Chains A and B, each alone.
Chain A
Amino acid sequence: MSVNDRIATQIKRFTKVTPSNQVGSGVFSYSGGNPILRFSIAEQDAYLLSKDLKFQFNFKCYRDLARTIPIKRADDIRLDSKIGVQSIIQNITISSRRYATSICEQIHNYNQLCSVAHPALSSTRDLSTQRSHEQISFGKGILSRSELNQTEDNRVASQTNGVLLQGRSFTSNGAAATYNGVDCSIQIYAGMLLQNLDLRLLGGLEFEIELASDVNVFSNSTTTANYTIDSCILNAPLLYKSANEMAQGVSPSSFSFLSYTSLYNVCQSTNATITNKVGLRGCLSMIQKFVPTNYINNPAALARAFASFCPGVKRLVYHRNGQRYPLEYGIKTDRSDGNPVASNIVDAKAPQVLLNTLSAFENYKDVKHSHITSQNLAEIQDNYWFLGVSFDQISGQGIDLSGGTISTELESTLELPSGAYPATPFGVYTFFLNKNTLVISPNQRIQSIE
């Protein structure tokens, strides 16, 4: 708190943008046949303050496909504990309005990216406070210091995992007439939204949000559980340009931003190499998340698709164009063959693997809070474990992968999430963080140079 005697030259306004494809009652849902939302932010002399951008909606959950019976507390329907209602977004596309064919960022399996990126740099307490109000997430882990030194099993038992939809979700307790749903206000996690955006330079922005399948969202074997969202708004804070900035006009200019690129593979062998050719020129880091394939799109799996499983990594090597990179050594964990009991998952704590995982977001020495904690690694059933590596720890410019391949050589046990053998195939969600540069000729074209 201090006296600020500067004269304001710029105006900040919060604009509420409604979906451009909204029809009738404004209800969107996956099973109801209206799963795509489009938002347009007009070209104007303003900056979009992307980090404060919020997607706001009212979330309702029903037991039947006719959507006449709202959920009750006794239904025990849950969302993923770490991302809450973020799990309803399957894909997200951000593009320029004026330069209509120019897609700036497209994230497939957005909810999978969110399930590792959000908690990676947040503790359970972080998620269970602000995020709880925003997106009904609770975090996974312990909430107080007194729980820190419990026995392993108790710590696992103390986790606030599998968050029950909070009381406000079923205030009517099944009565449709008084069912109000939950108001949510979520922050969209996308590379492009990690910095402010010049709406004049980009020619306005177009957001397309594709909703996720009901069977992946809920942690309940009730196959008819489904959701709707309505009253959808993109709350976009704009910082209008000053008179000086507007007088300068817009000249051909370059613009740099980050973006995520997503890929999906299947790992079926205990000795496998996952190779991708991505064509990126400024690749900063890679994240790989493992989920047993039979947990994906399977309501009987209780929405564990958003948990992050340890496939029993014994040895890990990264390659670029067939050569070890960026680590000139293989990471060897203490894990051995054999059938570990469910609670004996100490090898999952291979610290060097986890150190590199964190470095995909931030230097591990600078990480203060994370979900990568002892108790979250201790339980196989609903784990928080994924692979990551930073390709450029120093300059933030990334490496050129446009002409070659990037590979993950993995020796693992691929055991079932129950800790039992035989090996099971794992789906591998891979996300690349890339630095892009656009050259924009106003009113003419937009061109990616990196």
Chain B
Amino acid sequence: MSLEVSQSMPVENYSIVQQSENGTQFSPLQKTRLRIPAHLGYVDFHTSYLQFDFEIQNAKAKMEFTNEMGADVLIRTWRVLIGGHVVEEIDHPNVLLKTLKYDYGMDLGMEEVNQVFNVQGESRSYQGLNKNDATIDVSANQNPCQKRKMILDLKFSGIFGSTQTFPVGLSGDVEIEIVWEEARKALQVVQAGYVPLKVTAANNREARGCNIVTPQTVGAKTEVTLLAGPADRPNNQSINNAEDQPFLIGQGIRFTGEGGAAGANAQYNVLSTGNITAIAPDGGGASKITVGFTVAGNNLVEGSIAYNPAGVEFNSTTSWDNNGLLTYEVSVPSLFLQVVAPPPQYVAEQAQKVAAEGLSIDVPTYTCYKTNTFANINSATIDIPCYSSRARSIICVGVDSSQPLGGNNVLLNPYNMRSDYNDMSTYQFQIGEHREPVRPVDCSNLSTFQDNVAQEQLTELEKALRAAGGDVRSLRNYKDNFVIGRALSAYGGSIPLTMKGARIYIDYLQNNLRDDTAVAVRAKNWFCYCHHIRRLTISPQGIKMMY
């Protein structure tokens, strides 16, 4: 509905719930099947959505979703079948959504709204996926994560993104299959307890994690007090209560900073030999907390944290993925569907149309073509074997394929779905025999210290994202998520790639523009999404698909 007087035909509509048909609990890489039965008649997918309960299991720390994403990161594969025909099949829609929705499609206001529905962004204490409880002891296998309800709008899907009412009564059952993403790609330990918090003034050195109050009392030290710092970075700010800090009882911690026994400017990096034994609000005020821990004769800690600045971070030697046991559970995934009951005359007219000439429905969707480029090769070709008859746009995301997965990487190097710039010099598409644009797109400007903008690349990118159904509302991540794109037609049109396909020629700089040293090209997994339209025709003989 909208806040305007409508002149549309009145139709009765109501919302129903349809649960998954192959179980109620699902783990990573398992498949969930949902069925929208034909007896519903007509369904408005634009007002329908998916809801499920989500709980992280076997966690050894407070957790959050990777890539600053919401629950969209959990969808590894999305398939829609109508009458046995595959209408949509999108591999890795989460990688696509990272670009299309999260990095380029949202402004601050949209991020706020998305946090409510599917817990986007930093997952802090009770705000996100974790319990509001500072007494949880992970060494006793207590789960710090709580069950949360998630809602996915599924707007990336051509079926769910359509504003047209869909006649499931004429098309037959609509089946949906979702494969859930691996935990090691979708989850990470809260980074507030690890990422760099600042560069120290004296030597431009990094401290990590949370600031601690310095100087701490020197002596038989059993506790440290976290600093109530300025609120300018996620992990460098005032912590007002015990539940808001990233640590838990039973975790090992590490001190970093500069100073200590080796001199005021020496860097140190010291592990606590024991685990945190208690977390409590600081007695001196509401803005500090005290982390109690055991230091077995480790006087280095005492000496080190007597100097400023100092940080406390997660101990990276702990098995943060719980020796591979870290997982999650999706329970009771359910589609909430808006059923529409048009007048009988309308239904009869549509049935007649199906019998006479067939009813055609356009479904804009994506197909993912995966390929690789290799390390240390500065000139490469990406083949996109897409032969769709109505293609609109191509979006290519080059994810660093050398990323280690699992183990302590859920803390140290969480899986990054962004496209890696890696000092690319130029790229150029080829559609059939034609090179597009006529000259290669120069993106070497990004290689500078200042991260200068490559204007042509930015223009090409915005055109491609819009043609791919994206609503471009932010270009802040033009370098952090360096996506290669090409709009194949203007004004929402499409072109045939039949017998043509597409390929991209990419070249990397020999030397970067920062310090003129040789560029080390990394190996990449290229997720190339072609946005195209499929035509579904419902006739008395059944369903026909035009690809």
Question: Footprint of B on A, CB under 8 Å?
Answer: 123, 125-126, 141, 144-154, 157-158, 194-195, 256-258, 284-285, 325-329, 333-334, 341, 343-344, 346, 349-352, 354-355, 359, 361-365, 367-370, 372-374, 377-378, 390, 392-397, 399, 433, 435
Contact = CB atoms under 8 A, between A and B. Distances in A.
Contact of B151 (A141, A257, A351, A373): A351
A153 B116 contact: no
B288 to A, nearest CB: 13
Given A363-B1, A369-B113, 16 more contacts: A123-B108, A125-B109, A148-B122, A152-B125, A153-B241, A157-B240, A194-B3, A326-B15, A327-B15, A334-B149, A346-B127, A355-B49, A355-B117, A365-B155, A373-B116, A393-B338
Contacts of A148: 108, 111-112, 121-122
A157 to B, nearest CB: 8
B322 to A, nearest CB: 24
Contact of A372 (B13, B49, B116): B116
Given A151-B239, A362-B3, A125 B116 contact: no
Interface string B281-325: 000000000000000000000000000000000000000000000
Contacts of A154: 231, 237-238, 240, 244
Nearest to B123: A149
Contacts of A346: 126-127, 132, 146
A392 B2 CA distance: 10
B4 interface: yes
A359 B46 CA distance: 12
A365 B153 contact: yes
Interface string B6-19: 11111111111100
B47 interface: yes
B44 interface: yes
A393 B116 contact: no
A327 B112 contact: no
Interface centre among B17, B126, B238 (most CB of A within 10 A): B126
Given A149-B122, A328-B15, A363-B1, A369 B6 contact: no
A395 B9 contact: yes
Contacts of A194: 3-5
Interface size range of chain B in the complex? 35 or more
Contacts of B425: none
A243 B492 CA distance: 39
A395 B234 CA distance: 45
A435 B6 contact: yes
Interface centre among A257, A258, A393 (most CB of B within 10 A): A393
A258 B3 contact: yes
B126 A395 contact: no
B466 to A, nearest CB: 16
Nearest to B149: A351
Contacts of B433: none
A86 to B, nearest CB: 17
Nearest to A256: B5
B326 interface: no
Contact of B6 (A349, A390, A395): A395
Contact of B13 (A326, A350, A352): A326
Nearest to A356: B15
B244 A285 contact: no
B229 to A, nearest CB: 11
B240 A352 contact: no
A396 B9 CA distance: 9
A145 B108 contact: yes
A434 to B, nearest CB: 11
A185 B7 CA distance: 32
Contacts of A257: 5
Closest 7 interchain pairs by CB?
A396-B6, A369-B109, A397-B10, A123-B109, A151-B244, A373-B112, A153-B240
A392 B132 CA distance: 38
A104 B9 CA distance: 24
B149 A394 contact: no
Contacts of A325: 14
A243 to B, nearest CB: 27
A419 B31 CA distance: 41
A393 B125 CA distance: 36
B124 interface: yes
A296 B46 CA distance: 39
Given A257-B5, A363-B47, A395-B13, A343 B111 contact: no
Contacts of A368: 107, 109-110, 113
Given A141-B112, A352-B149, A152 B244 contact: yes
B150 interface: yes
Contacts of A364: 117, 153
A272 to B, nearest CB: 23
Interface centre among A125, A145, A147, A349 (most CB of B within 10 A): A349
B232 interface: yes
A396 B113 contact: no
Contacts of A373: 112-113, 115-116
23 contacts: A123-B109, A146-B232, A148-B121, A151-B127, A256-B5, A257-B5, A343-B132, A343-B243, A346-B126, A346-B127, A346-B146, A350-B149, A352-B151, A355-B117, A365-B47, A365-B153, A365-B155, A368-B109, A368-B113, A372-B113, A374-B127, A392-B1, A394-B165
A394 B116 contact: no
